[in-house]
Structure 1
């Protein structure tokens, strides 16, 4: 696979301008000419890495009626403001979602972005980098994007998008962040395809000889798909900071980012769904030069309004706070560049559990859920709900 070179974009006060790639020192010298504040994190300020599959708005009308994308995208901008990530990867972004993001004043003031379209010609919605055919992944970064490129995903129209940043100016620590969205569904051929897709990304990133992160909706439906983590020598952010034997990284929270029990929106577009799965991941390459200062957390995991079923997405997002140097202030830390032995053993056992059974709905349960859902759709369409 060959990578595809891209540009990034930054708000200059009147429009989103194209930023060509250059070194961080060059960025410092040019920052005044593009008329925006340098939002580099202060020395010793934690770096917050986040990801979320936002749920696209390009599905059939009866799904859109249930997922109410206009309301969810309004929340998305508020959610990013409140989370305030240093760098975030978003999946299933459409031009409608991108428009909302580009219009958000907080994002304009603080982030570089890996995709843009001409806001003066919104009806055309032609994206500059071509990442959003149907829907795709983008990166928002407070850190200057020194290099941006896309990686083809085998068997998919989607591409993974990669941005190079400098985590620590003093240490000159350059790393790559990759936002990826692999093929969904539980079919055996798709399980194998996901393995190939992630390996394909690794084969592009490894020869660059810099640490990297692959994050996003990787659709790892089964525990035995943790084999991807073991085989590629990844450090899984959630597992590393929840499955360890070391306090406070030992609460054993399963970390389901797709949770049909807690996420009350899921049954409204997928009647009868009951699964809980750790689909979304933040995976660090071995040797990544950072330490987690708290367990990996979830966001977008509460209803938009307390009295309504609507959630920001069918997925919960992940975030993790990192530092590049351990100080007395950061007393409780764990490396994200070296696997914890107890965590590695758990993931290795998961990888060997190939007898894991598929959860299937009974015919009566599925029929009942569908009948109830059709009734709800009809009532909603008539304004009775």
Structure 2
């Protein structure tokens, strides 16, 4: 919705002295710590008791630059308090998971649970912001869940002119590895159930966001978030499909992309072993579910990116047949470089599938994890090793993630091994570095 010159702060407006953040994961915890660093009292809520305990000790439960320092400061100054149940506050930010089910529809059970939980402590004048990535129409359902739990409160979908509670959708837009910086610097889309709802949310984000705040409505904001990641998914699918074409034609895909990108209107992305992370690998399905007949390109892109992981697997297995008892070293498990995030990771999927074959020795190098994930830890033929150990023992090197550490490898140590470089870090797939 466009800005309106007629909008004025209502009598209900008051400072955000206390904010309750529902969900202390990859989005909620950085947001809570950042708000606390701005002098706001923050109640962080998570259903995972171990997460609550760790944050209460001033520690983050996942790796992210500068986050530990921010959490430690917020907890030590008593600006951030982690608990397992929501408490009364001036505003509520909901950043809970929205995974997808086996049928690719969104699982909104955590969003619904959060809505019903905060409904019990809401008071007139409160602001509620949903940040979780959701299908279009979820913010309306969110309001309905609150209304069911607290029928005495007037919600904006029922009385848009005079609600007791302001409700807004504002999707996150931050990248692991750059969360703290992007949380502050990136533009935000603020989609209110009404214009007043959006303007109230705008006041909250002005506490810590330096980027531009773009005011719209809830449905548009929901669609924009899904569109951003579906766009990226489609473009990555083109690169991944091109890489499979180049393999069939015995052409160096990295050289082909470098040269094609010298055209002033061409910008092909880099291929990889698939697509991972909670956003790009999942969000397009939410949009596809909203309009299945109108999203054929997005559906095709999802299939291409999933197939790419299978193509890498088959390529490794073909090379394994050259050895009586192959030793395969897989380099990287996370879904992107220089993080410990395994969500929807194609690298992890590939290694898990290889681990099913107990006729080989599987070495795993992942500098951002202390131990192997549970899906790999119990296999006796799978071993977590350091890079030098992998280089000395492996018959086949499979580079799955472009971690910074892998760039430092002495190229002379890999010449006598079969190398499958899925990310173009070494450029040695065809026998020599480029």
TM-score, normalization by structure 2: 0.32
> Relative contact order, CA 8 A, sep 6+: which one is greater?
1
| Structure with more of its chain in strand, by fraction | 1
